[in-house]
Structure 1
């Protein structure tokens, strides 16, 4: 998956909002067919999402377009996938999954649709939203279920599915979800998924609280956030973009190590720090991330 710092949800039945979302500078938009769409508007939303995908694809917009279909238990996912697996879709955010078997079955459907529609095989990614106790307990197996899995999303907002399923009370400090969020990062990294996505902050007016929340998730190992309000995009992109000062520091570190290596040394004193190959690799990772997000 490309290194999305920000992924902004857009209600699928509100076609003009997709263009407004793109204008925020978000790295990706998620056209939603699930929770933000009233039951009476599901069919309308499906048609509107397809129109939005086609329009944005034709415009060659910078932001990637993802779709959140309805969950399998609703009986609506089949029609959703049949409609939205079209050119211009980068991936599907899967809600309320339970285990690896779910992912394997959905992958088979998407593969069939790609084949019958002459779309590149395996190009449409799957972002797994862990919103059930079962999915949290099985996140490692789910991350490894199929090559199409691009990342995991750890939703932590108050009064949402995860909190109800597990019975915790949300706090901005996040101690009640620290184990879960850490496990999601570990499941991603252990399976070669280097861009875990955090979320969701629901207090749209508390921007200072959101910034702290985003920074806490970055420190924990997350590399981007799923967002429900445009006002969060700029903050998110800032928080998850390595600063120029940090990048320059790591460039100097890499150069210092390479110079020492060329002289036959495996370690060197760099600006008061003892560094070796492990530190140089970490530095190169930060530089690569900075270059990647600047190209999104």
Structure 2
């Protein structure tokens, strides 16, 4: 079974800053997000779209996603009309709350694919959960269009979700435990594997970033957004398998292959009974380890 590794890190760069979009490609992040939404002032949206098209056309680095504006702002169609480039992977839909929003963007992306000569459904769409209403509808958002390939929680200390919740951020993350767990369960129920945790805003507190990222990983997330290149290493450490996990996974795969050769679908391995569910997890761990070697 060939399991493609999922990006562990996604670095934001404002589309209104061509210099930062260029620098982002050398950051070491697994993927990039060129932003047309909150990091771009309203008066600079048109300028940012022109810069985005140029940057996407010239980009030869990691896959790029574009955070578009919410359809309610009447900018989404213009944002998607600015998409270009071979390394374009998809879009992030901010403040997603209702399936109709996903379906509207899905239609825009279908037209963009025809214009760009891309296969139908080839561009990924990731709803961003930034409100309590969005969290309530997370399963329906994930199922609203086949191109939905991930789900993201706005988990920043003073981000939109925390503001809507009225909670108080702490290093232990109590206010976000329910939201992280709820989104993980809803997304998994909808068949979504790529669970992305939001940004960490305290640039100078790496220990807290590492704790925050570990919490997200322990709750089922496989990636985290970054707002500065200095955060990439800590994110990769948190979302990459440890040496012990890799050794355990490799041994389990070997044990299951030997069991299959003997006509069995389960085997005792290092004191526990394992079967095909364990094999699937082990293969994912090894795929993520391979990502770390080639990143």
Judge same fold: TM > 0.5, yes or no.
Answer: yes
TM-score for the superposition, normalised by structure 1: 0.91
C-alpha displacement at 1:282, in angstroms?
2.8
| Cα distance in 2 between the residues matched to 1:229 and 1:75 | 29
Question: Which residue of 2 is the match for residue 247 of structure 1?
Answer: 246
Counterparts of 1:140-219 in structure 2 under 5 Å? 140-219=139-218
Q: 1:293 to 1:185 in 2, by over 3 A?
A: farther
Q: How many residues align?
A: 292
Q: Deviations over 1:155-186 (max 9, x none)?
A: 11122211122211222211211111111111
| Cα distance in 2 between the residues matched to 1:8 and 1:83 | 20
Question: Which residue of 2 is the match for residue 114 of structure 1?
Answer: 113
Question: Which residue of 1 is the match for residue 49 of structure 2?
Answer: 46
| Cα distance in 1 between the residues matched to 2:264 and 2:109 | 51
Alignment partner of 1:33 out of 21, 31, 36: 36
> Which residues of structure 2 form unaligned runs of 5+?
none
Question: Which residue of 1 is the match for residue 223 of structure 2?
Answer: 224
Counterparts of 1:272-283 in structure 2 under 5 Å? 272-283=271-282
C-alpha displacement at 1:276, in angstroms?
4.1
2:15 corresponds to 1:12: yes
| Cα distance in 2 between the residues matched to 1:261 and 1:96 | 47
C-alpha displacement at 1:113, in angstroms?
2.5
| Cα distance in 1 between the residues matched to 2:125 and 2:81 | 15
| Cα distance in 1 between the residues matched to 2:139 and 2:24 | 32
| Maintained 8 Å contact 2:58/2:85 | no
Q: 1:262 to 1:199 in 2, by over 3 A?
A: same
Question: Which residue of 1 is the match for residue 92 of structure 2?
Answer: 93
